[in-house]
Chains A and B, each alone.
Chain A
Amino acid sequence: MTCRRCQRSISAYIDRELRADEMRDMQAHLERCAACQREYQSLLDTKRLLSGLAAKMPREELEARILARVDAAAQGSRPARQPAVLHPLMLRRRLAMVGTALMGACAALVILAIQPQGVEPPGPASLSHWQGKPVAVEPAMPVQDILFLHEPWQRYQAAPRAMPVSSVQDRAPSQDETPKDGRLTASSAIGR
């Protein structure tokens, strides 16, 4: 393996996103190439620092604000009926949407007027690309399954410092870092 090829794959190696044979080739190269080893170690350190960041916690009232916005949307979200607490940024956005709708999409306004909820608003065109995938709404998954199928949010329920660093725990093999003269290593600093 050349150094060039190795260095291109270092992040994928750190993330264990290479095939098994590629992982072995990388490991073999890293064991005998000091330059690539340094590159590997520096990117691994960078990843660890990010993984070790404490989660930013929102203000208490954020949940209520979200629910209020959702309420407004559920009750037929005409721009004129947005709550007064609307952030100026969002207000500008709403006004822009109204302008767009008035200019080009009378039909959209009609649909909006006759159907109060569950209807696609005259929102930004960019919405369409993430909905381009085949949509499978049936059969509906039971509430329980959706709520408990995936657990990443659970770490946000706990104190930020207690956040597990799963992405670091299953990092690349056989590159055990050696503590440097009693200084904290990244792994100890982030609670491995």
Chain B
Amino acid sequence: MGEAHVAAEVARSDRDLFNELVRRCHRQAYNIAYRLAGNHADAEDLTQEAFVRAFRFFGRYNRDMPFENWLYRIISNVFVDELRRRPKLRTQSLDQPVAPAKGGSEVLPEVADDTADPERLLFHGELDEPLQHSLNMLPHEFRQAVILADIEGLSYEEISEVMGCSLGTVRSRLHRGRKLLRNRLREQYGYTLGGVRGMDQ
């Protein structure tokens, strides 16, 4: 009876802790989920499902690892599971009904000279859509690596833990992901990166 009482107390304090972690981390988790999935509806689903899994396996959480990093790992796994189930998730973006061009030039946005400067667009908050579209087009392993490194600011070692791969793989995925992203921003949107504008190439 006494042991059962202690167990119940432990369960309750674990639950309190978990609720606090939800409160603290759900925005961050949502941001990652959004960048991975590319739209609000899928990002909400991913976030909820990730926290449910995190709760179920909370007893196995290695507390040497930052909770967010553990959560990123779960989000990544939920995301990959969803990709297997729904391949369209790969490119679908409900918030951005205008689909990017598939190799054709007919959907290219009209780019005036002053909009080729992505820094200016970033400053005005206009770069989110092009960047998100370009992220959506990346193979998901590259997308994850780029998001974790460049949006969340994780080190290669942390990314290798989250993604369950070697440092060399992280390095390669990140490099290739960034290059693909740069090429897309130049070619599809005509942005100037590193002094070279896509349309001029």
Q: Within A70-125, which residues are at the interface with B (CB < 8 Å)?
A: 70, 73-74, 77, 87, 89-90, 92-93, 117-121, 123-124
**Contact status A70-B49, CB under 8 Å:** no
- Contact residues of A with B, CB < 8 Å? 8, 10-12, 15, 17, 38-59, 62-63, 65-67, 69-70, 73-74, 77, 87, 89-90, 92-93, 117-121, 123-124, 126-127, 129-131, 133-137, 140-141, 143, 146-147, 149-150, 152-153, 155-157, 165-167, 183-186, 188-190
Q: Which of B60, B123, B153 contacts A189 (CB 8 A)?
A: B123
Which B residues are in CB contact (< 8 Å) with A45? 118-119, 182, 193-194
Which B residues are in CB contact (< 8 Å) with A74? 15, 55
B11 CB–A CB distance under 8 Å: yes
Chain B binding surface, main DSSP class: helix
Q: Mark B68-87, 1 if CB is under 8 A from A, else 0.
A: 10000110010011100110
CA distance A67 to B194 in the complex (A): 45
Which A residues are in CB contact (< 8 Å) with B120? 183-184, 189
Which B residues are in CB contact (< 8 Å) with A46? 178, 181-182, 185, 193
**Contact status A140-B63, CB under 8 Å:** yes
Q: Within B9-66, which residues are at the interface with A (CB < 8 Å)?
A: 11, 13, 15-28, 30-31, 34-35, 40, 43-45, 47-49, 51-53, 55-57, 59-64, 66
B111 CB–A CB distance under 8 Å: no
Which B residues are in CB contact (< 8 Å) with A51? 150-151, 153
CA distance A122 to B25 in the complex (A): 26
**Contact status A143-B13, CB under 8 Å:** yes
CA distance A120 to B147 in the complex (A): 29
CA distance A66 to B43 in the complex (A): 12
**Contact status A17-B171, CB under 8 Å:** yes
Q: Which of A40, A41, A121, A150 contacts B66 (CB 8 A)?
A: A150
Q: Which of B31, B82, B153 contacts A56 (CB 8 A)?
A: B31
Known contacts being A8-B175, A43-B178, A186-B122, is A152 close to B22, with CB within 8 Å? no
Known contacts being A11-B174, A62-B47, A70-B51, is A120 close to B31, with CB within 8 Å? no
CA distance A54 to B86 in the complex (A): 28
